[in-house]
Amino acid sequence: MAKMASGMQEKQYTPSLLSFFIYNPTFGPREGEEEKKILFYHPSDVEKNEKIRNVGLCEAIVQFTRTFCPTKPAKSLHTQKNRQFFFEPENNFWVVMVVRNPMIEKLNKDGKTQTIEYQEEEMLDTVYGAVVRQCYSMYKLFNGTFARAMEAGGVELLMQKLEKFFYKYLQTLHLQSSDLLDVFGGISFFPLDKMTYLKIQSFVNRVEESLSLIKYTAFLYNDQLIWSGLEQDDMRILYKYLTTSLFPRHTEPELAGRDSPLRPEVTGNLLHYGRFLTGPLNLKDPEAKFRFPKIFVSAEDGYEELHLIVYKAMSAAACFMISASVELNRDFCEQLDSLVGPQLTLLASDICEQFTVNRRISGPEKEPQFKFIYFNHMNLAEKSTIHMRKTASVCLTSVHPDLMKILGDINCDFARVDEDEEIIVKAMTDYWVVGKKSDQRELYVILNQKNANLIEVNEEVKRLCATQFNNIFFLD
């Protein structure tokens, strides 16, 4: 992605994906068999010998760093033009991502020749290392482990699965907008009053009782999580899939207006807006297919395979997970539709009403002096006023990339120590950036107050903690 700046004299390029590959060094141990190590390589049109050379180089780097620290091999390699990230998610399986450094292209005084300046220090290892781990987690959610594919059909099957999954998935990586949120991989929770929360809990209980096939349920409203029966790490990656991939593909019918695919049918005098986001598009269609995506989640003895049914009414979405060994048919889907549709429609309008009332009480929204990101390591709760709505293609932030980089740097400092601490930075652009870490919780605040001094900034952050976080930071 290029941006023009200052009188057409220079062009800026953001970080971009150069290559992404997966290999296993034990698959081609002898000379002349090196190609067998490569299980997946993007871009696929790279010449065979270059693929072998690049994989060989990564192997050498990993082996070389092992001599210094056998338990922790290299995580990344910095060069002038690019940066390589290594990750070994399963024994001997290596995932490597190579990212081109951001660069500035300048026109020389003669106006013809160009010089390129690589900005080697602009990228954060923590951010892109997290992106590589996400790639693997997302693959595992839909396919299970690499080892599972090997057991089921050997290298052939694994290569097919990798090709099918990563060919699509890599197109959704937007490295230019990767930031601290990728490191956290958190979940945004929807704020609810107790009564409405209990209504949702009893809805989940009723549905699970009536449709005993359902093993796990998750409930979201407005792309935020309210209830989940899954393990935290499974929910974290499922949440990322739903909010960055599945939901954006089905634009909200109420936003779409007239052409919305709603079906206001009368079911005991209630208009119901429920529809399947996965599975059958239209239950009335005699040709409808009752196939659902399969996901893998952790279970006591390893993992289990489940059908993922995502059902939505207005802004509320319920995910139902059912053992993959069960065959789902029209009868089941109709039952679910007639039971869940009306209840979910009512719940959605209840939540919406409650939310509007709360908003009115809390007074008019004026543009605050600060923006913040909050993350809690215990329940993965994440809250950001810096990120505007995420879309399928890009996550927009309302602050300058330099400030996001400072946030990332502070986060790296926090990761090095166990104690609670606070860091305050004055940026070149008159912004103040404050990071607080207190017992598993992290808060990052960006203040736009030109003439403020350290004491005033501290007071402002205290006020923010008191109003937004009910004083959960006890650092003072």
What is residue 394's predicted lDDT score, i.e. its pLDDT? 55
- Taking only the tens of pLDDT, the chain with its 476 residues reads 555 554 556 788 888 999 999 999 888 777 777 788 889 998 888 888 888 888 888 888 888 888 887 777 788 888 888 899 999 999 989 999 999 998 888 877 777 777 888 887 888 889 999 999 999 999 999 999 999 999 999 999 999 999 999 998 998 888 888 888 888 888 998 888 888 899 999 999 999 999 999 999 999 998 899 999 999 999 999 999 998 888 887 765 444 443 334 444 444 445 678 889 888 888 878 888 888 999 999 887 788 999 999 999 888 999 999 999 999 888 899 999 999 999 999 899 888 888 777 666 654 455 556 788 889 988 889 888 887 655 545 556 677 778 888 888 998 888 888 888 888 888 877 788 889 888 888 999 888 877 778 888 888 888 777 777 765 554 44
421 located within any domain: yes
Same domain as 345, residue 379: no
Same domain as 240, residue 155: no
Please, are residues 172 and 245 in contact by the beta-carbon 8 Å criterion?
Answer: yes
187 located within any domain: no
What CATH code is carried by the domain that includes residue 285?
3.30.450.30
Please, are residues 213 and 323 in contact by the beta-carbon 8 Å criterion?
Answer: yes
What is residue 206's predicted lDDT score, i.e. its pLDDT? 93
Token code pair at residue 192: 């609810």
CA 303, CA 285: separation in Å to the nearest integer? 35
Number of H helices, E strands in the chain: 11, 24
What is residue 390's predicted lDDT score, i.e. its pLDDT? 56
Residue type, 215: K
Same domain as 134, residue 58: yes
211 located within any domain: yes
188 located within any domain: no
What is residue 2's predicted lDDT score, i.e. its pLDDT? 57
Question: Is residue 65 classed as helix, strand or coil in its secondary structure?
Answer: helix
Same domain as 404, residue 294: no
CA 94, CA 173: separation in Å to the nearest integer? 19
What is residue 419's predicted lDDT score, i.e. its pLDDT? 85
What is residue 257's predicted lDDT score, i.e. its pLDDT? 40
Same domain as 376, residue 313: no
Same domain as 24, residue 107: yes
474 located within any domain: no
Same domain as 223, residue 201: yes
Same domain as 218, residue 159: no
Q: CA angle, 384 as apex, 378 and 389 as ends, to 5°? A: 125
What CATH code is carried by the domain that includes residue 414?
3.30.450
260 located within any domain: no
Same domain as 377, residue 340: no
What is residue 185's predicted lDDT score, i.e. its pLDDT? 87
What is residue 3's predicted lDDT score, i.e. its pLDDT? 58
What CATH code is carried by the domain that includes residue 14?
3.30.450.70
* Cis amide leading into 43 (omega within 30): yes
Same domain as 18, residue 101: yes
Same domain as 198, residue 108: no
186 located within any domain: no
What is residue 286's predicted lDDT score, i.e. its pLDDT? 82
Of 133, 149, 178, the one marking the end of a domain is: 178
Of 318, 340, 362, the one marking the end of a domain is: 362
153 Cβ contact list (under 8 Å, min separation 6): none
Same domain as 389, residue 345: no
- Domains identified in the chain, total number: 3
What is residue 262's predicted lDDT score, i.e. its pLDDT? 45
Of 342, 362, 382, the one marking the end of a domain is: 362
Secondary structure of 173-210 in the HEC alphabet? Answer: CCHHHCCHHHHHCCECECCCCHHHHHHHHHHHHHHHHH
299 located within any domain: yes
What is residue 89's predicted lDDT score, i.e. its pLDDT? 93
Range of the domain at 224: 194-255+269-362
What is residue 303's predicted lDDT score, i.e. its pLDDT? 87
What is residue 362's predicted lDDT score, i.e. its pLDDT? 56
